[in-house]
């Protein structure tokens, strides 16, 4: 399955640089964020791959100056029973990536959560609102600079 994947991806996307990492019995694919929608559409529809189930979309904050965030996609192929992890790097200055909710509807809410927690904008998302925090909330909680106990007064409490 891994060889088939490498072969098909390299044949189809000649301009994109793929980095294959194998660790703990899992395969991870790293590439540039501009190709995300095309690669995902290819992975979903191609015969022999058929990654029809998007399990999760999330992000990691590395707290470095360059390439601060990494957006991680976990997709699963029910036919071949194979799980793949895709990673794209997102910089803080251009904090946006194309949304894959047009390919898998399951990614819709997961991307909203990533937006709420990290502030990464997903372009062409049908309904990009905050997920957990109230709409008026100004910060993004899971960024590394946000304190664990929160900022006092950020969300008001009712009076006694």
Partner 1 sequence: MQKLTKDDVHPKIVQALLGADSHITIDDALENEMILNMGPQHPATHGVLRLLLRLDGETVIACVPELGYLHRGYEKMAENMSYLEFIPHTDRLDYIAPPANNVAYALAVEKLAGITAPPRAQYIRMLLAELARMCSHLVAIGALAMDVGALTVFLWGLREREKILDFFDVICGARFTTSYTRIGGVASDVSSDTLKNIIVFIDQFEEKLDEMERLLNGNRIFVERLEGVGVISKEDAIDIGFTGPNLRASGVEFDLRRATPYLFYNEMDFKIPTYTEGDCLARYFVRADELRESAKIVRQVIDKIPNGEVMLNSPKKVLPRKTEIYTKMEELIHDFMIVNFGINPPVGDVYHAVENPKGELGFYIVSKGEGQPWRMKIRSPSFANLQAIPHLVKGQMISDVVAIVGSIDPIMGEADK
Partner 2 sequence: MGLESKLINDGFFTTTVDALAAWARESSVWPMPMGISCCAIEMMASGDPKYDISRFGSEVMRFTPRQCDLMIVAGTVTYKMAHVVKKIFDQMPEPKWVIAMGACTSTGGMYRSYNVVQGIDQFLPVDIYAAGCPPRPENLLNALMQIQDKIGKTRVKDFPDPPHTSYDEKQGELSLSKN
Binding site for partner 1 (CB under 8 A): 23-24, 26, 28, 52-56, 58, 60-61, 72, 74, 78, 81, 83, 85, 104-106, 108-110, 113, 117, 127, 129-136, 138, 141-142, 146, 148, 153-156
CA–CA distance, 30 with 12 (Å, rounded to integer): 16
147 lies in the binding site for partner 2 (CB under 8 A): yes
Contacting residue, 19, 134, 138, 144, with partner 2 by CB under 8 A? 134
User: Helix, strand, coil shares of the chain as percentages rounded to 5?
Assistant: 20, 30, 50
CA distances from 25 to 22, 30, 36, 38, 58 (A): 7, 16, 24, 26, 20
Contacting residue, 141, 143, 144, 145, with partner 2 by CB under 8 A? 141
Question: Which does residue 106 bind out of partner 1, partner 2, none, counting CB within 5 to 8 angstroms by kind?
Answer: partner 1
CA–CA distance, 28 with 21 (Å, rounded to integer): 5
């Amino acid at each position: 399955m891994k060889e088939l994947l490498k072969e098909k991806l390299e044949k189809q996307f000649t301009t994109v640089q793929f980095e294959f990492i194998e660790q703990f019995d899992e395969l991870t694919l790293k590439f540039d964020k501009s190709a995300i929608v095309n690669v995902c559409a290819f992975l979903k529809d191609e015969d022999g791959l058929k990654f029809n189930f998007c399990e999760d979309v999330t992000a990691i904050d590395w707290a470095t100056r360059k390439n601060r965030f990494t957006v991680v996609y976990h997709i699963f192929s029910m036919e071949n029973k194979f799980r793949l992890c895709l990673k794209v790097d997102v910089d803080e200055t251009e904090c946006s990536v194309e949304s894959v909710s047009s390919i898998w509807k399951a990614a819709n809410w997961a991307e909203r959560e990533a937006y709420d927690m990290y502030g990464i904008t997903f372009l062409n998302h049908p309904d990009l609102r905050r997920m957990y925090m109230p709409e008026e909330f100004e910060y993004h909680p899971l960024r590394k600079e946000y304190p664990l106990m929160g900022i006092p007064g950020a969300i008001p409490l009712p009076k006694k």
